[in-house]
């Protein structure tokens, strides 16, 4: 898994690529990266999953932990560009009821401005 960071209009965007699974746990996890941003005072985080092909229960846990950490500090964590395959994972785990998920990045960015 590769995680690239960029910022747009005060929103931290993580472009995630590859598979998010326990067997490929990097030295720094997605949740670690989100916590670093939160520690630096950033509260609006968008996860771009356009290039994520697979996620297992470890990955779901990373996303949920990231959401909880952000929410507990009064921030917002949203997802964009998830595949139909990943959408099924989020539906089965009921995360579609918890997370704000957008089809494209622009819609997600606009939603931060409305909040």
User: What pLDDT, on the 0 to 100 scale, is given for residue 25?
Assistant: 67
The whole-number pLDDT of residue 112 equals 94
Report the alpha-carbon distance of residue 44 to residue 13 in Å, rounded: 9
Whose tokens are 């910022």? That residue is: 7
Radius of gyration for the alpha carbons in the chain, expressed in angstroms and rounded: 13
pLDDT digits (tens, 9 = 90+) for 11-70: 999 999 999 988 776 678 999 999 999 999 999 999 999 999 999 999 999 999 999 999
Return phi, psi of residue 45, to 5°: -130, 130
Give me the residue spans of the domains in the chain: 2-114
For CA atoms 63, 86, 100, 11, the dihedral sign is positive
More confident residue, 48 or 93: 48
User: Residue 73 — very low, low, confident or very high, per pLDDT cuts 50/70/90?
Assistant: very high
Does CATH number 3.40.50.620 belong to domain 2-114? no
Q: Token pair of 44, please?
A: 């609006």
Please tell me the pTM assigned to this model: 0.93
């Amino acid at each position: 898994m590769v995680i690239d960071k960029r910022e747009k209009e005060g929103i931290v965007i993580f472009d995630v690529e590859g598979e998010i699974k326990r067997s490929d746990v990097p030295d720094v996890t997605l949740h670690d990266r989100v916590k670093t941003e939160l520690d630096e005072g950033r509260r609006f985080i968008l996860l771009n999953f356009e290039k994520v092909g697979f996620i297992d229960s470890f990955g779901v846990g990373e996303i949920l932990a990231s959401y909880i950490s952000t929410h507990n500090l009064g921030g917002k964590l949203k997802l964009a560009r998830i595949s139909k395959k990943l959408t099924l994972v989020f539906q089965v785990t009921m995360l579609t009821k918890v997370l704000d998920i957008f089809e494209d990045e622009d819609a997600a960015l606009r939603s931060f401005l409305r909040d």
